Amino acid sequence: MELDMNTGKILSELEKNGFEAYMVGGCVRDSIMGREIHDTDITTNALPQQITEVFRGYKVIPTGIQHGTVTVICGDTPYEITTYRIDGKYSDHRRPDTVEFTTDITDDLARRDFTMNAIAMDRNGNIVDPFGGINDIENRIIRCVGAPEQRFAEDALRIMRAVRFSSQLGFRIDIRTARAIYDMHPQLRDISRERLREELDKLICGSNAVEVLMEYSNVITSIISEFKPCIGLDQRSPYHKYTVWEHIIRAMAAAPQEDLFLRRALFFHDIGKPPCMKLDETGRGHFKQHDRVGAEMTETIMKRLRYDNRTIADTVKLIANHSKKLKNRIDVKKMLSVMGDKLFFKLMELKKCDNSAKNPFVADENHVFDSYIEMGREMIANNECRSIKGLALKGTDLMALGLKGEEIGSTLDELLELVMEERLPNDKRTLTEYMRQRCSR
């Protein structure tokens, strides 16, 4: 591992003052795997006040000093430096009630979640790996350090982290750790919604998300119980080859991994199907209004998980419109008006991903959505009217013609409809003449 200048400086400062210093956790794991390193955590046998003294010439923030953590700013980079420690009980299943500082790096590594994260490396590349983390990385295994039941009892979020890492890294979860996940996943209900939300977002963007969500659906339903009826539900439709749950996650996985917004919308897009399912006299399944119901359910869930209002509104809008049929150019323009430019293109991509997780003949329709994308781009490039703001006739013009109050808003809506349907050109003189004739009737 080639150290950047700031990391090397932090480690050297501690060593020059007679202390041990190691990089630890995810940065070491990612270095061994050849992945990009984002954050570098450092552990040392120096006590918090000694760390502060070593870095007296730097900006030092006592971020978690009661737990042995001091943040040092080197260059523009923050480094969390934590004293080797042994954790006490976790009454709140999140943080230890007490910590005991130790001089043994192995004691510190023993408190960590998974063996792949319990590896330390000094600035010369020397490794401390008492729990076989490197071997588990090479064999692509996620295994708890020590007893998984104890690790998950300390912090139940580690259950979610295990499945998230499996999704991101493509590692399998070892049998004993998996058994503890199945037994203990209800404890996730005690974890803060924000922490669960962050892990969920990372999980659904993983390259191995389909396999993980199929195998550990009970972990997800511990967080989002509304998904339970989706698991194993046969859609009984000629368009579908998967259950509702498998369709959802395969459609989600068709979106680019880096597009969290689209993946999240697809993750929720058919959650409204179970309550809307009706069988006709032939036994075929129908799901009328599932887009509207799913949008309402998604809004409730996302508020519960503390997503921001903009993200909720945009996601809900996509889901509410994902089953709407478009047949021609006018429909495309109207959908552009409803969705706005940016969300319109997301909707077309969502529809393509949705189709890709159905029977093959349905995906043949995707070229139609590609043509709608081109239509939308042309409309935007030509500045075609698709909103009241773009109308050639304004509210002030209607006031001059004698309209007042709410009548102005409803008339603008009417004019926009006529222009988008190409029954009237978006020309001020023509629209004014139309209004004069209308007002004289």
Place of tokens 């009980």: 89
Q: What is the pLDDT of residues 211-242, one digit of tens each?
A: 999 999 999 999 999 999 999 999 999 999 99
pLDDT of 80 above 80: yes
Q: Is 383 left (phi over 0), alpha (psi -120 to 50) or beta?
A: left
What confidence tier does 88 reach under pLDDT thresholds 50, 70, 90? confident
Other C-beta atoms closer than 10 Å to the C-beta of 396 total: 8
- pTM, two decimals, is 0.91
Question: Residue 303 has which token pair?
Answer: 């508020």
Q: Which of 368, 384, 400 is the last residue of a domain?
A: 384
**Closest among 406, 423, 414 to 388, alpha carbons compared:** 414
* Cα gap 159→339, rounded to integer Å: 38
* Cα gap 304→192, rounded to integer Å: 10
Q: 354 and 228, same structural domain?
A: yes
For the chain, the domain total comes to 4
Read off the CATH number of the domain in which 152 is found: 1.10.110.30
Q: 239 and 203, same structural domain?
A: no
Q: Which of 201, 222, 243 is the last residue of a domain?
A: 222
Q: Output 97 or 232, whichever has higher pLDDT.
A: 232
Strands 69-74, 59-64: pairing kind = antiparallel
Q: 362 and 276, same structural domain?
A: yes
**Helical (H) or strand (E) element with 96:** none
Q: What is the pLDDT of residue 441?
A: 66
Average pLDDT of the chain is 95
Q: Which of 96, 113, 139 is the last residue of a domain?
A: 139
Q: What is the pLDDT of residue 186?
A: 95
Q: 161 and 198, same structural domain?
A: yes
* Cα gap 11→41, rounded to integer Å: 11
Q: 211 lies in which domain range?
A: 140-222
Q: What is the pLDDT of residue 96?
A: 76
Q: What is the pLDDT of residue 228?
A: 98
Q: 245 and 185, same structural domain?
A: no
Average the pLDDT over 330-359 and give the result.
97
Q: Considering Cα of 172, then 174, then 178, then 181, what sign does the dihedral take?
A: negative
* Cα gap 342→157, rounded to integer Å: 35
Average the pLDDT over 16-40 and give the result.
93
Q: What is the pLDDT of residues 272-317, one digit of tens each?
A: 999 999 999 999 999 999 999 999 999 999 999 999 999 999 999 9
Q: 368 and 233, same structural domain?
A: yes
Number of H-type helices and E-type strands within the chain: 23, 13
* Cα gap 282→290, rounded to integer Å: 20
Strands 172-173, 141-142: pairing kind = parallel
